[in-house]
């Protein structure tokens, strides 16, 4: 029954809610996640979970399903060449093209447990320590998963998590170890960050424009129509000189003609047409 009705049913539901596609060859991943949900809800089998779903997917059941359907793989300073491009290209250009004191607004889309947002905050803090003119900044991190957002807001990480990409000098400088042998980020880097729930397929529940948007490894899971729609609305959230950064395996080719593409030491950035180009 699982492959004939249960897994296709949940795959279709997840696609309708999140746009995430579980192809048939990935049903084993979906089955593992559904089995985890069944345990959390004290449901004996996937068939009984399916019966429960037929009566309506609401409340805790819905939140668990949407939480566990997403890929929350992340790490500190993931794909370091992206951060080097921001530090060496995007930040100087922002400073050059904006009056002193302008707040740089950054959006970390699908921010997961917060490592990307914290990495950006550490990078900007270090930049400001060396720069003649510091940059004021704020970072918005959004995700669909309430469970994941709670973890991001706590800014607390295991030893294994901080060992993934976080340089030891930054760990000792910006984190403190608590009584449970977990590392908590200091307020100096968490205070500029706000985490909020946001489904990228739903109307954006925040206002304002951003100078830098990171939407990495998100579009790759979406069908074509959703990619185009998400990009259209994300573009509307970019300031006139705004920069968009996607995952290393993602591209705007065939999806949007609103951007010029630039490269910096292996990292690709996209800038809205009509704005000053940041690289040749």
Considering the chain, what is the average pLDDT of its residues? 89
**CATH at residue 38:** 1.10.155
Q: Which residues constitute the domain of residue 87?
A: 80-272
State the burial class of residue 164 (Cβ atoms within 10 Å of its Cβ: 0-12, 13-18, 19+): middle
**Residue located via tokens 């999806």:** 255
| The pLDDT of residue 280 is above 50 | no
Where among 48, 69, 90 does a domain terminate?
69
pLDDT digits (tens, 9 = 90+) for 4-39: 788 889 988 888 887 777 878 778 888 888 988 888
Q: Does residue 204 sit within a domain?
A: yes
Say if residue 174 is in the same domain as residue 266: yes
Number of domains comprising the chain: 2
Say if residue 58 is in the same domain as residue 103: no
Q: Does residue 132 sit within a domain?
A: yes
How many whole angstroms separate alpha carbon 29 and alpha carbon 72? Answer: 14
Q: Does residue 25 sit within a domain?
A: yes
Q: Is the pTM of this model over 0.85?
A: no
User: Encoding tokens for residue 15?
Assistant: 């696609």
- Count of CB atoms within 10 A of residue 96's CB? 10
Minimum mean pLDDT range among 22-31, 93-102, 130-139, 180-189:
22-31
How many whole angstroms separate alpha carbon 58 and alpha carbon 190? Answer: 33
**CATH at residue 259:** 3.40.50.150
**Confidence band (pLDDT; 50, 70, 90) for 82?**
very high
Where among 69, 104, 126 does a domain terminate?
69
Q: What is the CA radius of gyration of the chain?
A: 20
Say if residue 177 is in the same domain as residue 53: no
Asked if residues 114 and 152 have their Cβ atoms less than 8 Å apart, the reply is: yes
Q: Which DSSP category does 254 fall into?
A: T
Q: Where are the strands (E) in the chain, listed by range? A: 104-108, 137-143, 156-157, 175-177, 183-185, 193-197, 210-215, 238-246, 259-264, 267-272
pLDDT digits (tens, 9 = 90+) for 204-250: 989 899 999 999 988 888 889 999 999 999 999 999 889 999 998 89
Secondary structure (DSSP) of 39-68 = HHTT-S-HHHHHHHHHT---HHHHHHHHHH
Pairing of strands 183-185, 175-177: antiparallel
Asked if residues 131 and 186 have their Cβ atoms less than 8 Å apart, the reply is: no
Of 177 and 5, the structure prediction assigns the larger pLDDT to: 177
- Looking at residue 267, its pLDDT comes to 93
- Looking at residue 277, its pLDDT comes to 43
């Amino acid at each position: 029954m699982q492959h004939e009705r249960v897994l296709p049913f949940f795959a279709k539901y997840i696609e309708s809610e999140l746009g995430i596609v579980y192809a048939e060859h990935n049903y084993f991943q979906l089955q593992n996640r559904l089995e985890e949900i069944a345990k959390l809800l004290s449901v004996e089998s996937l068939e009984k979970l399916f019966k429960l779903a037929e009566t309506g997917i609401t409340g805790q059941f819905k939140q668990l399903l949407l939480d566990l359907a997403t890929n929350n793989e992340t790490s500190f300073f993931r794909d370091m060449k992206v951060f080097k491009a921001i530090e060496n290209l995007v930040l100087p250009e922002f400073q050059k093209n904006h009056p002193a004191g302008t707040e740089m607004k950054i959006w970390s889309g699908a921010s997961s447990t917060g490592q990307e947002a914290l990495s950006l905050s550490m990078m900007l803090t270090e930049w400001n320590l060396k720069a003649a003119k510091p940059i004021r900044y704020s970072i918005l991190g959004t995700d669909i998963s309430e469970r994941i957002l709670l973890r991001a807001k706590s800014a607390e990480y295991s030893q294994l998590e901080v060992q993934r990409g976080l340089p030891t000098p930054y760990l000792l400088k910006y984190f403190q170890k608590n009584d449970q042998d977990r590392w908590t980020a200091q307020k100096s880097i968490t205070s500029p960050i706000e985490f909020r729930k946001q489904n990228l397929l739903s109307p954006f529940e925040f206002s304002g424009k951003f100078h830098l948007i990171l939407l990495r490894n998100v579009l790759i899971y979406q069908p074509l129509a959703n990619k185009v729609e998400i990009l259209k609305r994300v573009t509307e959230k970019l300031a006139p000189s705004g920069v968009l950064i996607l995952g290393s395996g993602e591209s705007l080719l065939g999806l949007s003609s609103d951007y010029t593409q630039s490269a910096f030491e292996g990292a690709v950035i996209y800038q809205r047409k009509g704005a000053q180009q940041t690289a040749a």
